[in-house]
Structures are given as C-alpha cells and as structure tokens.
Chains A and B, each alone.
Chain A
Amino acid sequence: MTTTQSTEAPAKAATPPAPGTALRVQNFVIKYGFIFVTVALFLYFALTEGSFRESATLLDTLRYVSVAAILGLGVTLTMAVGGMDMSVGAVAGLGVSVAAQTMVVFNQVGTVAILAVLVAGALAGLLNALLIVVLKIPDMLATLGTMFVIQGSKLILVDGQSITPGMTLDDGSTAPGRFTDGFLKIDRGTVLGVPVSVIVFGALTVAAWVFLARTRWGRILYAIGANPEASRLAGIRVGAYRALAYVVSGVLASVGGLILASRIGQGDVSAGTSQLLEAVAVALVGTSVLGRGRPNVWGTALGAVLIGIITTGLTIKGLPYYTQDVVEGAVLILALVFSFTLSKRRTA
C-alpha cells in the first residue's frame, strides 16, 4: 500500500506533523481540488477548441463574469459576518436604472451618473443595515425584503418601462440625454487590451482580499460571523461592523450595476435579476476553493472564473444556452460537497 508521495503539498508551517497518508491526500484534494478542476477544464477547452485559446475569448469570459464576481465579493463580506445579502442583484438592477435616468432623462454627464449609482448602492446597503442591525430582522429575510422593495420601487420610478435614449417622457417631450461615450467605456473600453470592467474586477478583488484577510477590520468581520457575543465582549461594536458589511456590499453591487448599465447601454428594467443567484453561487463556491470552508475573497474570484470558463467553454462546444443553469447548479452542489461534507469529515 506504499504509494509514492509525489503529491507533496507546499508545506505551510502550520500543517500538523505527519498525519496518515490517506489523510494527507484528502487534505490535498480538499485544498487544491477546485483549482485543479479549474485548470483541467481550462486545458481541456483550450486543447479541443481553437477559438477558446484566443485571448479575446478569455478576456470576454472574464468580462462576462465580472458583474457576478463583484456582486459575489459583496455577498462574501456579508457571509463573513454570518449573514447573506440577497439584495445584490436588485441593487445592481437599481444601478442600471439610476444610471439611465441620470444620463438619459436628466441629461447629466457620466461622472454624475456614476456618483448617483454609488450613492444609491450605499443607501440600499444602509436600508439593509437598518433592518438587520436596528430592527433585528434575520439577515436573509431582511435582504430578501429589500430585494423586493428595490425591484418594485425601481419599476415605479421608470413607470415599468426601460429607459432608452430618445424615448418619449411623461410630459410628451423627448428624453434629452443619452449614455455618454465615457460611460459606455466602462464595459466596452480597454486599457492595454484589457477591458476596463476586468480591471475593476481585479482591483476590487485585491482590495477586498487585503481588507478581509489582512486588516483588523476584516478579522473583526470574521469574528462576528463566528461568535457575535464573544466579539461584543471583546469590545467590538458588532452592530457597526455588520452595518459596514452591508453598506460595502451595496456599493459593490452598484459597481456591478455600473458595468451592467454600460454593457446594456440602456435602462433595462429586468437587468440584475439573474445576477443574484450567480453572485450567491459564486460566493458559495468560493467557500470551498482552498478548502477553507468559510467565505473568502480569492475563493469567490476563482469561483467566478471557474463558472465563466465552464459557460464559455460549453457555449463554444455548442451546448444550448438554456443548459447553463443546470451546469452552474451542478458546480455549486459539487462545491458545497467539498466545503461541507468533506471538510467536516476531515476535522472529525
């Protein structure tokens, strides 16, 4: 039964001294299995489909997942404090409408639109914080409520219609503005060949990672998620930090909304709805990447990339678009098996 142990994990100082071989293999699989699957799938698609190898396709893949990934970062933050922000899709959708309203109806420049969208996201986050921290409603239910309220009030705001340049307004006049070129560059423009939205995704990922994994504020968010009462008795203002997580999540969701608005180029009323489940899925997949079994930023980002690779790859392979949900669902369940079933067994 002596197998050669070439699968030596890059030993960290904290790994326990020489556990059994079977346990070591299992630990290795739990820790790096997901990354391995991602790389293997990538190689498979790259070797079998010529068009997958083109850098344009790869960048498009990242561009495609950037919205879900950024929303997923917000979900990750709220999961760290032991909650879950279910309103991120609606907030992104709100962002799309606010951007369109500001530029098309009020004829403002792109910068004003960006500020308006970010403010709207922060306000949505504050509403969540109010419901959860002050009114003590359980996180998921509160944000679910917020989701419906935001979606509904957005419809009222735009009379249930998509806002397009040149549309007729209530008073019979024609909408004066349009999406500015600068604003459209958020998703369509590139810097050194890399789409702006991908750069935003990368920058936010690094920033969120530093915040959550390296600063004391991030440490405190995790502490609150794991034991709120112990955190309070350690002198932490638990309510303030939970509010912070939801406000940041709201702002991140509105950044997703900006990218989405720039991509669609009009105030589509249904925008953002489908992003919620992807964002939650990405964050949940993220808990299993690196085998941490807890929400983490790199996991979320890698989870988004994995889902992007799978959808793009399968699309190139000719799988109809309507099979995507099944594939993404299967990935999610597999990830949950990793983070709950297997890692539980390891600690038992």
Chain B
Amino acid sequence: MSPTETPAVALTDVSMAFGGRTVLASVSLDIAPGSVVALLGANGAGKSTLIKILSGVHTDHGGEVRVDGSPVALDSPLAARRLGIQTVHQRIGEGIVPGLSVAENLVFEELAQRRGNPFLGGRATLARAREIQAGLGLEWSDSVLKQDVTELGISDRQLLILARALATRPRLLILDEPTSALSAAEAERLFALVRRMREDGIAVLYVSHRLGEIDALADRLVVLRDGLLTGDQAKPFDWDAALRAMLAQAQEATTARPVREGDQGATVLSLRGVRLFEGRSPLDLDLRTGEVTGVVGLLGAGKTELARGLFGAEPFTTGTLELDGTAYAPRRPADAIRAGVHLVPEDRHADALVPGWSVAQNISLPFLRSLSRAGLVQRSEEDALGRATVEALGVVTRDEHSTVEELSGGNQQKVVVGRWLAQTPRVLILDEPFRGVDIGARRDIGRRARTLAAEGAAVLVLSADVDEVLEIADRVVVLAAGEIHLDAHGEDAERDRVIQTISASV
C-alpha cells in the first residue's frame, strides 16, 4: 500500500444523477492492488450506484475511471469484465443458471464469451470446472459437479459464483453483501478466501453493513453518505467516526444491548407439538405480549419453516396452535392475516414486492379491503398510508408514487417491513428483517417492534445473526435442525452462551 504504487482501479470525480436527483457527487477513490477496501453507507447513500458504474451497468456517469493507470470506458458489463472488474452481486440467484450442472455453471463465463471450441463436451467442461474450483480450494467431487446447480445450498452457490469470478483473474473484485445469506461458519470460509485473494494481489471492494466483518477483513474503510465520500480510514478503524460519517447525526455503535427480562405478558400464540422437519422432535413455544422473541439459528435450522407455518404459507403437518386461547389453524396466508398474524417474509423480491408498482401500491396490497368503498380503491387514503409509511421509516424516495425499482435495495426492504409495521397485529413475524438495511432503519424497525409488543402484540424475529437478535430481542430462542436448544431471558441469553449453544448444536 505504498502511495507510489499504481492503483488497480482509480475513480476521479465520478458522479451520477437520475432524473435531476444527484446520487453520486464527484467521488474520487483509489483502490490499491492486494488491498481490501470496505465500503460503508446507509441505504440510498449511493453504494449500489457506485458498484453499477464499476460493473458497467450505469454508463452515463461523469468523471473518469482508470484501470492500472490508464483511462477506460466501462460501457457495458462485458467491458468491465474484460478490464478485470468482477462483481458478485447480493442476489445470488442472478448469477447461476438453473437447469445447467454445477460444472457448466462454473465454466459459464467462458461458454458465454470465449471464441474457443463451440463443441465443448462434457469431459472438457468437467476438466475445466475442476481447475476453476481448485483455484478456490473447493473440493467438490465429480458427482457434485455433474448435478444440477439448484441442488447446491445457498452458500455453495455463493462459492461457485466466487470461484467463477476468480477464474478470470480479476484486478478488482466487488463483493456486495456477500455474507447476507451465509451462516457464521460459511462466512468464515468466505473470509479465508478473501484473504487469499488479497495475498494474490487482487483488489477487493467489500460492501457490507456488518461492522464485525469489516473489522476482521478490511485494510481500509470508506464511507458514502448522500452520494459523497464522507469517511476514509486505514486500519485500525475508529468506529465512532465511521458511524458519524455514515449517519448524519451521531449514533452509538451497534454493540448489542443487554437482553432484558420480559414483562411476562399474557400468552398470545402457543405452539404444541409442532414438528418443523420429518423425524425431529416436536417443539412447544409460547409467544407473549410485552416481549420481542428472537429466534436465532443457522441456515436450515427451520426458522423460515417456523415462520411460514405460523403464517399458513406452508401449514404445519403436526401439532396444534392456539391464538388468544382459541384454536388457530391457518391453511393459507389469508387466514393468518384475518386472524391478525402478519409475516414480513425473508426474500423481498420473490415474496413481497410487486414489480412496476408504486411504493404506495406495494404498501397497500394486503389492506385493499379496508382502503375500498364498495370495491373502489380510495386512492387518497392509499396515498396517505404510503406517505405515512415512507415517513415513519425514512424511506429514501422521491415520493410515494415512485416505482419500487427506483429505490435502493435497503429502501425496498423498508417498504416491505413498513407495510406491516403500520398495522396493529396480534402477532408480527419478521423473517430476516434487517437484510440490507442500514443501522438507522434497523433502529426504527426495532423500536416499532418493541412498541407493538408493549401495546399487546407478540413479536417474533428470526435471524441468522446473533448480534441482530440480541439487539432487538428480550428473549432468545436458539433453533437447530428444527429443535429448540435454548430459550432464555436476560443474562441467561448472554452472547457467548448463545453462540456456544449454536456451535454445540451443529
């Protein structure tokens, strides 16, 4: 990292505006080879725009980009890749091709562009795929390589995409929230790989909201706020300064606040003998008013199954549920919503947002009945609901009529969460509500969840992130392979104990 070294990628006065709104204002940034630069910023700060410029998606930006010292035109995703800028996007699904084998997916980049042998046979594909995975130290057997890529779990898919990106020997690798779908152990595997890339002289731009990861991994930290570069630090990082640079007003760092004893309210929802997976022990669980229950567990622990079962999206096959003392057996989400059980689903694109619709229309979708007179949707009431939600969670948008696609990922998430937070449910289930959401919005969501609990609702938060759960929950439940391994309040739910329980249950 000597100052005389030519940066792998250098940005000079890069700017970008959408329809008159400036999203990036003359950002200058040098990224040295063999360094990991973390990019931090609240939702809508311009992170995604910066990434899209570097990966050749947004081509009409101002300023200059240099690769290895010479100015370049990033006028298409292909051009960016040819110049050695590889991007691994947050949404893993966008990178893999279902229907093709793991091996074919590994060599896909070469299939798609190289002027080589068009009759690449199965054996040659397999051989090349082995080379590519060896570059990452993966050890998939031939039978794994031959199976359809959809057989792979989400973390393996992530590794596949990473392996493919590395096979092109990039100068700069951009990782956008790479751990958002990974468990702690899987994330560790990824970190080891990132460190190896750094040793190989690859520059890494690492985008994440997780400060712990950045602390462990990055050599340097830059902060974006409202399209401006507001912070630039070398290790060791001053988190207070970083957070101040990120959020206009100072906020305390995200150290988990201690879990407190709940107010022991009345039981709202009780589960008896519910089996999440075939062949596992059934579980009992009571959700009470006045407390936020956090369920933490790795990927595949049964969190999503639990949430979807309670919501009637995939009804439980065994066990009984009681809501406020009466039998509750939702067979479809409509039943759950009518009974006052609301779910914020994990995957906002697949399960929550209607593409092409405005923010207000997306918010009102579940509540059209109450917003209609004689079947006619009352638009002024709908807009008012949209405006109120936008204000309550600080969604960065032109107004409530903007289509959801115009919003950044984190702001879309705020719309999805805000849709349900504006209501007063009996039970609110939040499945991974903080994905891609900045600290400010995380606080807002947490505060609202707490208010709802205090007002007499039961709140259930499911997450793979221990710190997130400790931050928001009064009570922590550790789930592993569909069984409860810990159910603790207050000091009993101490961080180390939770982590120990999780690792012991694997």
Residues of A whose CB lies within 8 Å of any CB of B are 13-14, 16-19, 210, 214-217, 219-220, 222-223, 226-227, 229-237, 294, 347
Which residues of chain A are near B372, meaning CB under 8 Å? 215-216
CA distance A140 to B333 in the complex (A): 27
Shortest Cβ distance from B420 into A: residue = A234
**Any A CB within 8 A of the CB of B82:** no
Could you mark each residue 281-305 of chain B with 1 if its beta carbon is under 8 Å from any beta carbon of chain A, else 0?
Answer: 0000000000000000000000000
In contact, A234 and B366 (Cβ under 8 angstroms): yes
In contact, B334 and A237 (Cβ under 8 angstroms): yes
**Any A CB within 8 A of the CB of B351:** yes
CA distance A42 to B415 in the complex (A): 46
CA distance A264 to B364 in the complex (A): 48
Shortest Cβ distance from B382 into A: residue = A219
In contact, B20 and A294 (Cβ under 8 angstroms): no
Which residues of chain B are near A210, meaning CB under 8 Å? 376
Which residues of chain B are near A229, meaning CB under 8 Å? 350-351
Which residues of chain B are near A19, meaning CB under 8 Å? 19-20
Which residues of chain B are near A347, meaning CB under 8 Å? 405
From known contacts A216-B375, A227-B353, infer whether A233 and B401 are also in contact, taking CB-CB under 8 Å.
no
Q: How far is the CB of B332 from chain A (nearest CB, A)?
A: 7
Other-chain contact of B369, A14, A216, A222, A237 (Cβ < 8 Å): A216
In contact, A216 and B334 (Cβ under 8 angstroms): no
**Any A CB within 8 A of the CB of B368:** yes
CA distance A308 to B355 in the complex (A): 34
Which residues of chain B are near A214, meaning CB under 8 Å? 376-377
Q: How far is the CB of A248 from chain B (nearest CB, A)?
A: 15
What are 30 inter-chain pairs, A to B, with CB distance below 8 A?
A: A14-B401, A16-B20, A16-B398, A17-B19, A17-B20, A17-B398, A210-B376, A214-B377, A215-B372, A215-B375, A216-B375, A216-B376, A219-B365, A219-B368, A220-B368, A226-B354, A226-B355, A226-B356, A226-B357, A227-B350, A230-B365, A233-B343, A233-B351, A234-B333, A234-B337, A234-B365, A234-B366, A235-B338, A237-B334, A294-B356
In contact, B375 and A217 (Cβ under 8 angstroms): yes
Other-chain contact of B377, A219, A230, A233 (Cβ < 8 Å): A219
Other-chain contact of A215, B337, B354, B361, B376 (Cβ < 8 Å): B376
From known contacts A17-B20, A216-B377, infer whether A230 and B332 are also in contact, taking CB-CB under 8 Å.
no
Which residues of chain A are near B19, meaning CB under 8 Å? 16-19
In contact, A223 and B20 (Cβ under 8 angstroms): no
Other-chain contact of B354, A16, A18, A217, A223 (Cβ < 8 Å): A223
In contact, A232 and B332 (Cβ under 8 angstroms): yes
Residues of B whose CB lies within 8 Å of any CB of A are 19-20, 311, 313, 332-334, 336-338, 343, 345, 350-358, 361, 365-366, 368-369, 371-372, 375-377, 398, 401, 405
CA distance A115 to B101 in the complex (A): 56
- Among A210, A220, A230, max chain B CB count under 10 A is at A230
In contact, B352 and A233 (Cβ under 8 angstroms): yes
Q: How far is the CB of B183 from chain A (nearest CB, A)?
A: 24
CA distance A231 to B351 in the complex (A): 8
Which residues of chain B are near A226, meaning CB under 8 Å? 354-357
Which residues of chain A are near B20, meaning CB under 8 Å? 16-19
Which residues of chain B are near A231, meaning CB under 8 Å? 354, 365
Q: How far is the CB of B166 from chain A (nearest CB, A)?
A: 30
In contact, B377 and A235 (Cβ under 8 angstroms): no
Which residues of chain B are near A215, meaning CB under 8 Å? 372, 375-377
From known contacts A14-B401, A18-B20, A226-B357, infer whether A233 and B333 are also in contact, taking CB-CB under 8 Å.
yes
- The 3 A-B pairs at the shortest CB distance, nearest first, are namely A235-B337, A216-B368, A234-B366
CA distance A301 to B405 in the complex (A): 30
CA distance A232 to B332 in the complex (A): 8
CA distance A294 to B332 in the complex (A): 29
Shortest Cβ distance from B355 into A: residue = A226
Q: How far is the CB of A292 from chain B (nearest CB, A)?
A: 10
Which residues of chain B are near A294, meaning CB under 8 Å? 356
In contact, A223 and B332 (Cβ under 8 angstroms): no
Q: How far is the CB of B314 from chain A (nearest CB, A)?
A: 11
Q: How far is the CB of A329 from chain B (nearest CB, A)?
A: 28
Which residues of chain A are near B333, meaning CB under 8 Å? 232-235
Which residues of chain A are near B353, meaning CB under 8 Å? 227, 230
Other-chain contact of B332, A13, A219, A227, A237 (Cβ < 8 Å): A237
CA distance A235 to B358 in the complex (A): 19
CA distance A347 to B353 in the complex (A): 18
CA distance A229 to B365 in the complex (A): 13
CA distance A18 to B398 in the complex (A): 13
Which residues of chain A are near B365, meaning CB under 8 Å? 219, 223, 230-231, 234, 236
CA distance A220 to B311 in the complex (A): 20
Shortest Cβ distance from B313 into A: residue = A233
Which residues of chain B are near A230, meaning CB under 8 Å? 350-354, 365
Shortest Cβ distance from B338 into A: residue = A235
CA distance A219 to B354 in the complex (A): 11
Q: How far is the CB of B102 from chain A (nearest CB, A)?
A: 26
CA distance A236 to B377 in the complex (A): 16
4 additional contacts (CB under 8 A) given A216-B372, A229-B350: A18-B20, A222-B354, A227-B354, A347-B405
CA distance A219 to B372 in the complex (A): 11
CA distance A230 to B354 in the complex (A): 7
CA distance A219 to B375 in the complex (A): 10
Other-chain contact of B334, A18, A219, A235 (Cβ < 8 Å): A235
Which residues of chain B are near A234, meaning CB under 8 Å? 333, 337, 352, 365-366
Which residues of chain A are near B343, meaning CB under 8 Å? 233
Q: How far is the CB of B366 from chain A (nearest CB, A)?
A: 4
Q: How far is the CB of A31 from chain B (nearest CB, A)?
A: 16
- Among A19, A227, A294, max chain B CB count under 10 A is at A227
CA distance A14 to B403 in the complex (A): 10
CA distance A166 to B377 in the complex (A): 53
Which residues of chain A are near B313, meaning CB under 8 Å? 232-233
CA distance A231 to B337 in the complex (A): 12
Shortest Cβ distance from B352 into A: residue = A230
CA distance A219 to B401 in the complex (A): 16
CA distance A227 to B338 in the complex (A): 21
- Among B354, B357, B375, max chain A CB count under 10 A is at B354
Which residues of chain B are near A14, meaning CB under 8 Å? 358, 401
From known contacts A14-B401, A16-B398, infer whether A227 and B355 are also in contact, taking CB-CB under 8 Å.
yes
CA distance A17 to B357 in the complex (A): 19
Q: How far is the CB of A254 from chain B (nearest CB, A)?
A: 24
Which residues of chain B are near A227, meaning CB under 8 Å? 350, 353-355
CA distance A17 to B19 in the complex (A): 7
Q: How far is the CB of B323 from chain A (nearest CB, A)?
A: 16
Which residues of chain A are near B377, meaning CB under 8 Å? 214-216, 219
Q: How far is the CB of B384 from chain A (nearest CB, A)?
A: 15
In contact, A233 and B345 (Cβ under 8 angstroms): yes
CA distance A14 to B372 in the complex (A): 22
Shortest Cβ distance from B398 into A: residue = A16
Which residues of chain B are near A13, meaning CB under 8 Å? 401
- Among A223, A229, A235, A237, max chain B CB count under 10 A is at A235
Q: How far is the CB of B430 from chain A (nearest CB, A)?
A: 13
CA distance A231 to B375 in the complex (A): 18
Q: How far is the CB of B385 from chain A (nearest CB, A)?
A: 14
Which residues of chain A are near B398, meaning CB under 8 Å? 16-17
CA distance A80 to B150 in the complex (A): 30
Which residues of chain B are near A232, meaning CB under 8 Å? 313, 332-333
Shortest Cβ distance from A14 into B: residue = B401
Q: How far is the CB of A62 from chain B (nearest CB, A)?
A: 28
Which residues of chain A are near B336, meaning CB under 8 Å? 235
Q: How far is the CB of B62 from chain A (nearest CB, A)?
A: 15
Q: How far is the CB of A22 from chain B (nearest CB, A)?
A: 12
Shortest Cβ distance from A234 into B: residue = B366
